[in-house]
């Protein structure tokens, strides 16, 4: 298949994913269960895509794990996004420097 064929297939798929819910669900969803389920889908998908990248983003999975632990701790302390991101970066940097210093 040529590049144009692949591009057309991707465009049709993307269009159908966005168009079908608009045409099939004309009435508002009243079920509390389904609405809450749909509200958590983006968070679950983002977590599933992000978690493996956290552990493999650095040369050392231990540094990635240290950043993850710091992020979870700061998030539970209700710190802002910039604070959490900065804390993760500092933790990964220090862990990487410690591993170089130790050998």
Predicted pLDDT at 8:
94
Compute the distance between CA of residue 6 and CA of residue 81 in angstroms, rounded to an integer. 38
28 burial type by CB count under 10 A (0-12 exposed, 13-18 middle, 19+ buried)? exposed
**What six digits make up the tokens of 16?**
């159908």
Compute the distance between CA of residue 2 and CA of residue 8 in angstroms, rounded to an integer. 10
Please name the residue that has the structure tokens 């508002």: 28
Q: Is the pTM of this model over 0.75?
A: no
Predicted pLDDT at 19:
86
Predicted pLDDT at 103:
67
């Amino acid at each position: 298949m040529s590049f144009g064929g692949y591009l057309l297939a991707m465009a049709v798929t993307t269009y159908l994913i966005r168009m079908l819910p608009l045409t099939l669900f004309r009435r508002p969803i009243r079920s509390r269960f389904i609405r809450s389920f749909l509200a958590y889908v983006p968070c679950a998908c983002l977590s599933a895509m992000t978690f493996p990248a956290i552990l493999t983003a650095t040369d050392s999975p231990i540094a990635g794990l240290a950043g993850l632990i710091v992020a979870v701790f700061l998030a539970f302390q209700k710190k802002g996004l910039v604070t959490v991101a900065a804390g993760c970066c500092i933790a990964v940097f220090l862990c990487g420097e410690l591993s170089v210093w130790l050998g």
